[in-house]
């Protein structure tokens, strides 16, 4: 630990390409953590860089900060996450990503045939009701499936 964690909010922001306010916000949400120096300024350990990168990557997959937070909660609390910890987390997202990709593929493939026909408004049209794709409903891994139809 020669390289004692010494990242300021400004440096982290610059390195990660986000704004300082975003880091404040993420901290408020509990996505990242910092401690304070004598003058009440935030200090981070290098680990935060990976966290932020992962947040950004997950967002690009369409995962909400809330879900990311839940995923992060599976990371060890007491020690810096290892490569393995991150890969475990990633594997969960990979499944979701696959579902999402399948979903979009069905949408794409139905698009041409369905959009011109009269079936769109029917409950059997794959464009209008592609919810079946991600298996049944209810429990387990419904992070990406969320944006499916929400009958109120």
Partner DNA sequence: CTAAAACCTCAAGTTAGGTTGAGGTAAAGG
Partner DNA sequence: CCTTTACCTCAACCTAACTTGAGGTTTTAG
152 vs 59: CA distance, rounded Å = 27
CA-wise closest residue to 64 among 143, 145, 152, 9: 143
| Interaction of residue 64 with DNA, rule CB under 7 A | yes
The H-or-E segment that residue 44 falls in is: strand 42-44
Choose the one of DNA, its own copies, none that binds residue 9, judging by a C-beta under 5 to 8 angstroms depending on kind: DNA
Per the listing, tokens 């794409």 go with 108
| Interaction of residue 100 with its own copies, rule CB under 8 A | yes
User: Under a CB-based contact definition with an 8 Å cutoff, are residues 8 and 16 in contact?
Assistant: no
The residue within the footprint of its own copies, chosen from 39, 76, 116, 140 (CB under 8 A), is 116
Beta bridge partners of 42: 36
Contact window for its own copies (CB under 8 A) among 2-10, 32-40, 46-54, 69-77: 46-54
The residue within the footprint of DNA, chosen from 38, 118, 124, 136 (CB under 7 A), is 38
Structure tokens given for 77: 């609390």
The residue within the footprint of its own copies, chosen from 37, 80, 105, 135 (CB under 8 A), is 105
Choose the one of DNA, its own copies, none that binds residue 53, judging by a C-beta under 5 to 8 angstroms depending on kind: its own copies
15 vs 26: CA distance, rounded Å = 16
Choose the one of its own copies, DNA, none that binds residue 35, judging by a C-beta under 5 to 8 angstroms depending on kind: none
**x/- map, 7-36, DNA, by CB under 7 A:** -xxxx-x----xxxxx-xxx----------
Kindly give the residue spans of alpha helices, DSSP state H, lying in the chain.
9-16, 20-29, 47-61, 65-72, 83-115
- The footprint of DNA (CB under 7 A) covers 8-11, 13, 18-22, 24-26, 37-42, 59, 64-66, 152
């Amino acid at each position: 630990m020669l390289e004692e964690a010494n990242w300021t909010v400004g440096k982290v922001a610059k390195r990660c390409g986000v704004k300082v306010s975003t880091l404040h916000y993420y901290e408020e949400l509990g996505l990242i953590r910092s401690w304070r120096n004598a003058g009440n300024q935030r200090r981070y350990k290098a680990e935060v860089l990976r966290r932020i990168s992962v947040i950004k990557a997950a967002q690009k997959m369409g995962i909400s900060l809330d879900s990311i937070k839940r995923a992060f909660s599976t990371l060890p609390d007491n020690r810096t996450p290892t490569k393995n910890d991150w890969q475990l987390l990633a594997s969960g997202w990979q499944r979701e990503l696959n579902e999402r990709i399948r979903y979009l593929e069905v949408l794409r493939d139905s698009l041409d045939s369905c959009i011109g026909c009269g079936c769109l408004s029917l409950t059997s049209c794959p464009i209008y009701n592609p919810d079946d794709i991600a298996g049944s409903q209810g429990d387990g891994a419904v992070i990406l499936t969320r944006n499916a139809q929400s009958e109120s």
